[in-house]
Structure 1
């Protein structure tokens, strides 16, 4: 593959025209590309920062798209599964236009290949930041015993709580970048995209969000329970409920990511009925 086989644009709608069919052909593997692209198309390309994003597709014979990426600074570039030649060509293409990267994420082999290609090309140090596992819902199994209380969809009266918990979630996972808590809460409330678990006494104790449907897939994110309330089954109960609602809403694929360094969450989601799709990784680049 040659560097010029990678076609670049900074317009999300043009990227969707190029890559929409390719991304929709494997919606589980392309879940991040699909959901981020939809958000940018509906809410503007500066959703995550003032920096201009970059998108690209690799075209083969007949103009057929075989790989794709998006880069929304300050996040790492996210790439679809791509072989070694494709990774080398992408790095050469990006270097040729002077595009800088702080890291890469994607399916584990693709991310590792691109990180290695970037290191060879630039001499930059690379480090593995996080190993993730992508799960897809099989047969839903509600965890037993279920905690007392009920699930409900978050509304406008929950906005302040959602903002606090969104910031707390980002701090817990070490994520400082991204959209602000207010815009995130407003978008999720408008979508009906956050489910809360409320005790019999009316205390809200856990939340599980879900992305808007795209190409038949939705992704559960984020799941958050305040530290003082963990270990009581709230996260499992609210995740099971939001998963059931996604299936009832017509989702063909209900997905979620876990940090492989967290055995508790990995075991929990498997008990609910989530099954491994594949592993992903996040690599950071240094000087």
Structure 2
């Protein structure tokens, strides 16, 4: 059985109640899950601690909130700036499709995030200067040790993108960019801490929209508004990885949840597990 670790002060011990709850929710899918207290930075529960600390995986579309936040903060995009999604693009000889419905209206930051529009993210990523996106990701906590789990950690790989296509691939969360699930949890904690800042409003609205009408609807929790993002990515070895990362409540965040597992898509496989974890937290079964 994979242990669930609960942080108390500076120590980490197995918590039987949280362990039982997370095991029931995560173990059938053989996944990794973390629940983190936004205020204290402490882990409330970790399923698959060793893998959460050391398994490096491309983040896929869970990276898009960081990309759009960096563009907004640098005034490289306006919150109402729009772009009509063409549905498909090619980067460095690779095709990337947008899975969302064809929309009559052009997308803006919030709707592009809710629908996880690859074309939108790649188009505006062209505006980053060399190293600018990598620096923003590192400031958010990616590529750094987290101390979240009682296991030996490795740091992610946040390369400096050289050129337009490298910036675009990085903005889509593709290799060679790699992160751990623990890093992603801490990155979303950074987003949660800035959720009330005016420049972050389109990002928070987009993450709310992802759960309400976009790619992450299966993470919905009755009675609490969730902000979250899915990701679906194929590794260099050919494995298909499914992600969900988010926080709740969306406007006054208390917890961050991150789920990562092998699966066909973040929306179908990771989001429902995250929703059940948040339901258990809200019911007091994980604390």
> TM-score if structure 2 supplies the norm length?
0.28
Kindly indicate which of the two structures has a greater share of residues assigned to strand.
1
TM-score (norm 1): 0.28
Mark the structure with the bigger radius of gyration.
1
